[in-house]
A and B are shown apart, each in its own frame.
Chain A
Amino acid sequence: MESFNNKSLISKRTETILKKLSEKGQLKNINGVNVMILTDLKKGEVKVKDLGRLQAATSHEYTLLRGIGENGKCERVLIRGIQNQVGIPEEYIEMNYVWSAHSHPDDTSPSQLDRDALSAFDQECSVIVSACQRSDNHKYKTRTFEQIEDLSNWLPS
């Protein structure tokens, strides 16, 4: 059973996703880290904006992929990692999946590992959703990041 941070604040939608993940998700060990993988998700079942809510609810990092599944249909894959990292099985890279987004426990700044993973996907950009920062319209803050680092604000103070 999932342990939630604050059950009263979890929306019905988030609860449904978490229930499905615990019922149908497959546990996999990637380099010593256990991840839970939920495949065969249809478009709209899990959205990028859900990732912040999911991490806020369970304190795990989440990743969302999309691509063509084994049945030849377009699918979404949700992966739950540990608190500050989430592993992505390499077969999804070989099958040309797209790394739609992943969540961060705090801010939306990408790490070098995020950029390396993006490079492995041979992808230009992806999205980070914060689990704690909210934008003006109270939605979880998102940020698009690229393979290249943005140092344009690094000026002498």
Chain B
Amino acid sequence: MSAIEIRGLRKSYRVYQKKEGLWASLTGLFHREYREVDAVRGIDLDVEQGEFVAFLGPNGAGKTTTLKLLSGVISPTVGQARVLGHVPWERENSYRRKFALVMGQKNQLWWDLPAQESFRLHQKIYRIDPTEFDRTRDELVDLLEVRHLLGQPVRELSLGERMKMELTAALLHSPDVLFLDEPTIGLDVIAQHNIQKFLKHYQQQRKITILLTSHYMKDVAALCKRVVIIAHGDIMYDGSLAGIVDRFSGHKELTLQFADDRMPSDLARYGEVLEIVEPKARLRVERGSIAEVLSAVLANHSVEDVSVEDPPLEEVIAEMFALTADQSRESRDANRQPAQSVTQSS
């Protein structure tokens, strides 16, 4: 049985269309226009026990909404989901004991108290056995290297330190499923790296199931073998990270270094010129014709060094998001169905 099973999950919100200006605000008191917005549009997904899956997508794609549905914070408009055999939005205690949600943008620790007091509270709420609690806490704070900060009020911690405390709090009850919503947001490179290292180690040891959303490709590349791309509430891709490039980018990047400063002037005939810093040039070449182009370049010019690379992942994904945005706009214009239409009520 899969750890997470999602079938046709949809969540739409009714949003008040506020118009600009004072007069519009006043009339808005009596007569309001609402619009239905689909945050998640009927997704299907299976995640196996022990998988570490990344959720990628632009802002507003529906990633966080999906995590909130799976943790039972909100209920779906239609559709089904089961996590470890539980329906999340039924909010059974037996389910809530088995998972944790960490949100990089929000904190759940008591702001004015040292983190250890919040941990103690978690022990009571989750009813963790005292010796078990001490052992887990010690292990976590040692792995995250924050033991010396346990007695310091949370408001006096740096963002990175606070995130580590948030992670500790979330893992004290040894959840089987962990939802991470941008856990490294706003952190510097070193702190990001530390958290990645910790998550990787923890997941490998415990074999827990993790769903992660992040905007940092480095997080994803370091942690997840499987990537699910969600945009405008739909799943656009589900597969390996490397597969994204194969699937969505028809190009390769060719870097050439010419001998003796003999930079040819007609490089454009080989492909799109991205950058020239003599004696080097970087070209964008169609994937299908890379061999042909390469042999032509080598035959016609004196080349000292050459490299062929995939374009950077960020670029491919940005391209893909732009493409899906166009498609979704088209499909929205094509069928102005009730879900998107403006409804009125007073």
Q: Do A and B come from one complex?
A: no
